[in-house]
Chain A
């Protein structure tokens, strides 16, 4: 089954404790990206990756890191989480038509609470 898998589904942590949210896709997609969803703000793009070892900032990259060492995986790293990073996070991937992305396939989401 084609899917984007995120883990964990729920995460509670404390300020400053490094954490990683994993994301993996089995569709051989080149493009992957991370979003955070906050009430009243919709989804905002954190980082994206066009291919292995190629990443770039979205609209809200501060406080986050990513890496793309393999095509299928795109982990999101919070090196020193703060309470304002409490949010619902989504990973997504997309096939490409030339230079253009097709539709985004989303993971199930990770609800992060930073105390």
Chain B
């Protein structure tokens, strides 16, 4: 079965703190894809990253970084020096290899509150 777990329902930090959002996934596929999406208070869903299961290199994009560890089935997301504009709900998602590649599985989301 495919499943994504985001155990942190809500996190509150003060601006400039670093924060890590956890994502643990379950899949039997050898090839799969992992995603992170951001949903700000306005409600739209914004794509952040897509990573395939063969690429375990960590990725950094500005203040954002992602740590993919196949051994622990985790794909964690870190925001460095958080800002108020980072306040949003963040979703981790999984898409499998054929024939399951047409299905997407989302976690329940982590709401991040960044206070000034």
Query: A31 at interface (Cβ–Cβ under 8 A)?
Result: yes
Residues of B within 8 A of A43 (CB): 91, 93, 104, 106
Number of cross-chain contacts by CB at 8 Å? 60
Query: A44 at interface (Cβ–Cβ under 8 A)?
Result: yes
Whether A45 contacts B104 by the Cβ 8 Å rule is yes
Q: Which residue of B lies closest to A38 (CB)?
A: B108
Residues of B within 8 A of A102 (CB): 50
Binds A, one of B11-19, B41-49, B72-80: B41-49
Query: B64 at interface (Cβ–Cβ under 8 A)?
Result: no
CA distance A90 to B89 in the complex (A): 15
Tally of B interface residues using CB under 8 Å: 25
Whether A99 contacts B106 by the Cβ 8 Å rule is no
Query: A74 at interface (Cβ–Cβ under 8 A)?
Result: no
Whether B102 contacts A31 by the Cβ 8 Å rule is yes
Whether A106 contacts B44 by the Cβ 8 Å rule is yes
Whether A103 contacts B35 by the Cβ 8 Å rule is yes
Interface residues in chain B, defined as those with a beta carbon under 8 Å from any beta carbon in chain A: 4, 6, 9, 33, 35, 37, 43-45, 47, 50, 91, 93, 95, 97-98, 101-109
29 of the cross-chain contacts (CB-CB < 8 Å) are A33-B102, A35-B104, A35-B106, A41-B108, A42-B6, A42-B106, A42-B108, A42-B109, A43-B91, A44-B106, A45-B105, A56-B102, A58-B103, A88-B43, A90-B45, A92-B45, A99-B101, A100-B33, A100-B97, A100-B101, A101-B33, A103-B35, A104-B45, A104-B47, A106-B44, A106-B45, A108-B43, A109-B43, A109-B44
